[in-house]
């Protein structure tokens, strides 16, 4: 488990969180907050087979959705993850559909700018521009601790290696084995992902910077 002293160390080592979003997504985030796929589909009133496909199947490309009142939104692709890899690496009786459901109920933050930059420069994304939210770690945890779960890995990637994952990949702060991971890793890699189940509707309260970035460069700052 994470003791209060360990949590203080984690926040000191990783004072900011980073979220990468589609280039055109900032107006929607400003209005509705940072929402996971599930919540976006609720708000955009997507149901039936379309909803089932978007929440239980891999998305090989980004999917645009529209609503007469809400307007347009884009649900990001899942290019770095493949179901045939998931089938081999999932534990605890989980199926690829189960894993997709877990991913689609939460939003994700990197704990270091280095990991953000790695994603910005990944083959599928390095030619594109993205919105990046820089978030205050301490205040986000203080407000949403009961819905936060931590992961020691990139849970949405199975390339080039499909690392094992299962029921204990995402754990609440109080249950996360901080000391065990700290014994194996440097301080900034003890937690790889901070996730918030249900999203962060009040994300603007914790954002310290919004920028448009591409691989290796910041193009402009919006906030």
**What is d(CA 17, CA 11) in angstroms, rounded to the nearest whole number?**
10
* Ranges of each domain in the chain: 4-221
- Indicate whether 223 pLDDT > 80: no
Residue 61: per-residue pLDDT: 92
pTM of the model: 0.95
**What is d(CA 78, CA 76) in angstroms, rounded to the nearest whole number?**
7
**Tens digits of residue pLDDT in 41-93:** 999 999 999 999 999 999 999 999 999 999 888 899 999 999 999 999 999 99
**Tens digits of residue pLDDT in 124-137:** 888 889 999 999 99
**Tens digits of residue pLDDT in 156-199:** 999 888 999 999 999 999 999 999 999 999 999 999 999 999 99
Residue 19: per-residue pLDDT: 97
Residue 221 binned pLDDT confidence (cut-offs 50, 70, 90): confident
Q: Report CA dihedral (96, 19, 31, 65) to the nearest 10 degrees.
A: -40
Tokens of 83: 């179901």
């Amino acid at each position: 488990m994470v003791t209060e002293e360990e949590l203080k160390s984690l926040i000191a080592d990783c004072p900011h969180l980073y979220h990468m979003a589609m280039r055109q997504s900032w107006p929607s985030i400003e209005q509705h907050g940072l929402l996971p796929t599930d919540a976006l589909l609720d708000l955009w009133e997507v149901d039936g087979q379309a909803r089932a496909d978007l929440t239980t199947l891999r998305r090989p490309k980004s999917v645009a959705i529209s609503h007469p009142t809400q307007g347009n939104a884009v649900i990001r692709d899942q290019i770095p993850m493949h179901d045939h890899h998931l089938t081999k690496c999932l534990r605890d009786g989980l199926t690829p559909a189960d894993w997709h459901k877990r991913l689609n109920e939460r939003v994700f933050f990197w704990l270091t700018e280095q990991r953000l930059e790695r994603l910005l420069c990944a083959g599928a994304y390095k030619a594109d521009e993205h919105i990046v939210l820089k978030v205050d770690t301490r205040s986000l945890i203080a407000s949403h601790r009961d819905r936060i779960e931590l992961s020691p890995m990139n849970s949405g990637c199975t390339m080039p290696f499909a690392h094992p994952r299962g029921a204990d990949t995402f754990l609440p702060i109080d249950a996360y084995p901080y000391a065990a991971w700290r014994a194996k890793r440097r301080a900034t890699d003890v937690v790889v992902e901070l996730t918030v189940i249900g999203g962060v509707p009040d994300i603007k309260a914790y954002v310290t910077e919004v920028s448009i970035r591409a691989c290796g460069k910041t193009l402009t700052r919006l906030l």
